[in-house]
Structure 1
């Protein structure tokens, strides 16, 4: 009989409490029965075989930096944490790929490949603390995904342990390959509900040129949103196009002096990494920004100034945590509706008498309207959160561009997907996790009794 891996196992109440949740606010967290800090694929296999045989829920975890409750414990579960599986297995320079374990930190991988003249573009705001496994689980985006794409665009292959302990490999190392269904894409973004990723093969790019940075100042965030549509509509694709509104500027300003004008309503930060052509790309950005109401546009001659601006933008999440409570949104709309989204969020904030900061990846139409509030405003904050979700869908967008559904947005998934799509999700879940043990209650629940629960594991 398979047992839990003793050397990696703990049931210490204090340790369990420390690992019971991610960084999502207002998501329930249950009482786990045990924690397995896996150090090997075999630890993962043994944990899942035992849990499958005993019908015990398993919650896979990485660095627990998620913002949707996807790594939160459920009562009686085993927490399966993979942060100690943190080895960069291989960097293949000629093939421009890297093979890594799921616990490798995003920024560490980027630094390691940069030493070999290569570039790993996906760079979520949490890149210094989030793991590649977690990035894969949510199909994380980041600052550079406008030009280069999100995590899933760089995942070539996976090693995955299925619910019953079987180990499978999906995808391939080659640049092309279409043999069979695209199972790699299926597991990317599945938030630990279909299998546990234990190895990731990612594509790399040649190192990009050191970017030039420009910042445009606006009286309103909606004007900045219109500038985004104008600039990208002209055919340009900068490496970065990031938005900060007045509220987010004020929040970050408490941690770092950004040097912005005192009365600025919003800033839009652009970066171009096309070498000698960067100056022309940023001149086009300035034309679009001024045509849409920018009061001033500054191009940073010193790359270090650009780095400072980007550090300020990356501090937004940390700055929001200084408030008594926050609810982080993750809506994504067509770029042509970005200004409508921002104006709608401002109306919602006024209607519910809460503070909402708009910050995010404007070039993708992916904004993180974050409700900042005192604890006695919790009900109003939740109503505002729902109103922003509805607004995003009404504008032809989605409830999540990169943070995932998790627990926070599970009810809203049914609003975005039609009945046939929900049914398809359920069938996939039941096929790969017939006993419903993998991250139950996240994304979508399987339907009990939908088909026979046959044991697929060979004896």
Structure 2
């Protein structure tokens, strides 16, 4: 159950709302309390949510610039959001803020087959972009499991990865240029369209993954690749997650880079089956799925190597798929795992990432933490690059289970750090992992982060309280704190 917004008096927000209505075209400013509440949070479980003063549904860059300009005058926080599919509380409202919804900025401005790039609005859905460029024989590789719903702007905000990132990289690897509104209400362009360029700092790369704290992205130019050819799929069944982790490590040690290498456990498969009746509750505790898309006979040879790695690591069964529809159904089940598990009750979602050599140990620690805290943990993972997604399951209204899950959540973060990993591979810090970030980065590095933030957003109005708190010399923003825990 998501946290309900607190209800501060409306009167303090009236001058802000009046100025927004005067500055923006008719219909842009939304004041219906139910609409505001629905657009005030993402999908993060138990992350605090404040009461927004208004929502601006932006259609143009000028809408965003005007909104920030008004908020600067009133020292009102500004929270940008896309489709709200985030899992860390990064798009959650704070009291007295203005939420800028970018989901209607859906223009695919340009597709350039020669330069292999596309220019899109931040509200373009990931899969819609992929479908549009496919008509030109091109491909946009970053593919988070939320790709049917998540937007490019949100993907940029969290540097989203996905199933194919083990071979093809994450969002930052594909962002060439950005248009952005800064915290001083200036419209700037960062990056460049050329294949090379080292003039100045990589500010576009800096903004990717900054979770809306450095600016509000209003246009994105992305790099494209040629469409890959047909892929070969390998499936392996394992009796436990640690053995599956050993198989992942073996694939890496063999020098094989699959297009995808995904882990799904029995909890997730059962949840998908109960929801979609796909007939995929297999006789295995854990399934590994590898996709090989190298050209010609290379993929066939690599598939045989992956089968051998799975078998040598202790798979109870491992084979190349001979049925393309069956293979696609298995990957579809992987994509559906999180929403399927979410139907069973509140889910606290992790996305720690560890070096591949430590994947077996990390999976073992997750299992041990779940047992010790009496928390059921389902596991899905972009296993090929060590990005693990333990799903901590609870039941509605069970406060004791919630407390145990939150303790387990923090211990999983610490376990990842102890193995040389990070607290977030692709979901972002947001609110849920702010404590983990302070344990990951030393004080000098956090000070560098705050200095960058102050340069681009001197008033600290953009998504305040996310990632890390402001330094002591930044004046408090009225109504910024608050909201139900």
TM-score when normalising by structure 2: 0.91
- With 306-315 and 36-45 compared, the bigger mean Cα shift is at 306-315
Where does residue 426 of structure 1 map in the other structure?
A: 450
**Structure 2: 5+ residue runs without aligned partners?**
1-18, 476-485
Structure 1 residues 298-325: Cα deviation after superposition (integer angstroms, max 9, x where no partner): 2122322221111011010111111221
Where does residue 438 of structure 1 map in the other structure?
A: 462
Where does residue 195 of structure 1 map in the other structure?
A: 215
Gap change, CA 1:54 and 1:421, over 3 Å in 2: same
Q: Does 1:27 align with 2:47?
A: yes
Aligned mates of 1:9, 1:260 — CA distance in 2: 46
The secondary structure found in structure 1 opposite 2:347 is strand
Residue of 196, 206, 223 corresponding to 1:186: 206
Aligned mates of 1:261, 1:433 — CA distance in 2: 50
Structure 1 residues 103-142: Cα deviation after superposition (integer angstroms, max 9, x where no partner): 0000000000011100110000000000000000000000
For the 8 Å contact 2:460–2:474, the answer to whether it is kept is no
For the 8 Å contact 2:43–2:85, the answer to whether it is kept is yes
Aligned mates of 1:48, 1:220 — CA distance in 2: 51
For the 8 Å contact 2:236–2:316, the answer to whether it is kept is yes
The secondary structure found in structure 1 opposite 2:150 is coil
Structure 1 residues 300-352: Cα deviation after superposition (integer angstroms, max 9, x where no partner): 22322221111011010111111221100010001111111111111111111
Aligned mates of 2:174, 2:80 — CA distance in 1: 22
Where does residue 481 of structure 2 map in the other structure?
A: none
The CA RMSD over aligned residues, in Å, is: 1.4
* Alignment coverage as a number of residue pairs: 451
Where does residue 306 of structure 1 map in the other structure?
A: 327
Q: Does 1:78 align with 2:102?
A: no
Where does residue 284 of structure 1 map in the other structure?
A: 305
Residue of 427, 442, 455 corresponding to 1:403: 427
Q: Does 1:169 align with 2:189?
A: yes
Aligned mates of 2:443, 2:282 — CA distance in 1: 50
- With 55-64 and 243-252 compared, the bigger mean Cα shift is at 243-252
Q: Does 1:447 align with 2:471?
A: yes
Structure 1 residues 74-106: Cα deviation after superposition (integer angstroms, max 9, x where no partner): 001000010000110000000000000000000
TM-score when normalising by structure 1: 0.96
Aligned mates of 1:101, 1:262 — CA distance in 2: 41
Aligned mates of 2:140, 2:325 — CA distance in 1: 21
1:148-163 pair list within 5 angstroms: 148-163=168-183
Aligned mates of 1:444, 1:429 — CA distance in 2: 10
The secondary structure found in structure 1 opposite 2:136 is coil
- With 438-447 and 96-105 compared, the bigger mean Cα shift is at 438-447
